[in-house]
Amino acid sequence: MDLNALAQAEINYGKYLLSQDHLYKKIPENQRSELIQQAVECGESAAENLVADDLRNYCRQEKIEIEFFQEELKAENFRFVLAEFQLPRLIRINQSLLTAAEPFLLAQDFFKDQRAADILLAHELYHYLENQQQLFTIKKQLMYQTGPFKRQARLHALSEIAAMSFAQAYLELPFSPVILNIALLYPIAPEYSEQLAKQLLVID
Ligand SMILES: [Zn+2]
C-alpha cells in the first residue's frame, strides 16, 4: 500500500467519518456537508484557542491522566482501540500498537519527524476539551423520527471529525491524522487497513 500517496491525496475524511455514524441515514442529505464543515472548524478553532506549548504539560496542568496500555495484538481482532478518552480525565493510548507499528511508520516519508503518540494524544485531548467547553460537537443534536416517535441524539462522528481537525491544526500536520490510523493498523492487520484506505479513497 502506498501510504505516502494516500497522505498527499485530498481525502474527504469528514465525509468518510460521518458515513460511519450509526445515525448517518437519518441525517438529511442537504445538511451533511455543512455539519462536516462545522465540525472541522470546531476542531480547528479549539486548536487555535488552546493556550499550551506542549500537550503533555497541558495534561499535567489539567490533571488529565495519560495511560499507555499494553494488549496482545492479534490480526483477527482488528478493531483495536488505538486510543480513547474516558470522562472525566483519562486518556488511554495503545502502547502495544505503537511499538508494533513503529518500524513501519519510520519507513514512511510522509511521517518523518512526527510522533504517533502525540497525534493520538492530541485527538483524545479534543474529546476532553469538547466536554469541558461544551463545544458544538457535544451540543449539536440531530432531530429525527423513528416510526411515530420524534427523537434527538448526538452525532458522535462529528466529534471524531473535529478531533482529527484539532490534531491536524494543533500539530500542524501536513496530512490528515486519519492516515495515521490506517498506518498503525497496517503492520498488524494489513487487509483491514487496506480496506479502510480504499474506503477513504472512493468516498469522494
Ligand atoms: Zn475520537
pLDDT per residue over 92-109, tens digit each?
Answer: 999 999 999 999 999 999
Q: Which three cell numbers stand for residue 204?
A: 469522494
Q: How far is Cα of residue 56 from the mean position of the Cα atoms in its chain? A: 18
Q: What is the mean pLDDT of residues 51-80?
A: 90
In the predicted structure, residue 157 carries a pLDDT above the cut 90: yes
Confidence of residue 132 (pLDDT cuts 50, 70, 90): very high
Higher pLDDT among residues 188 and 140, named by residue: 140
Confidence of residue 33 (pLDDT cuts 50, 70, 90): very high
Confidence of residue 1 (pLDDT cuts 50, 70, 90): confident
The pLDDT value recorded for residue 204 is 60
The pLDDT value recorded for residue 51 is 93
Nearest to 162 by CA among 56, 35, 3: 35
CA of 136 from ligand 1 middle (Å) equals 15
Residues around ion ligand 1, judged by CB within 5 A, are 160, 163
Give the Cα separation of 147 and 175 in Å (integer).
Answer: 42
The pLDDT value recorded for residue 142 is 97
Alpha helices in the chain (DSSP H): 3-8, 13-19, 29-49, 55-61, 95-106, 116-132, 136-139, 156-170, 177-185, 190-202
CA of 134 from ligand 1 middle (Å) equals 16
Q: What is the mean pLDDT of residues 11-32?
A: 94
CA of 148 from ligand 1 middle (Å) equals 33
For residue 24, the SS3 value is helix
CA of 147 from ligand 1 middle (Å) equals 31
CA of 123 from ligand 1 middle (Å) equals 6
The pLDDT value recorded for residue 107 is 92
Give the Cα separation of 41 and 102 in Å (integer).
Answer: 31
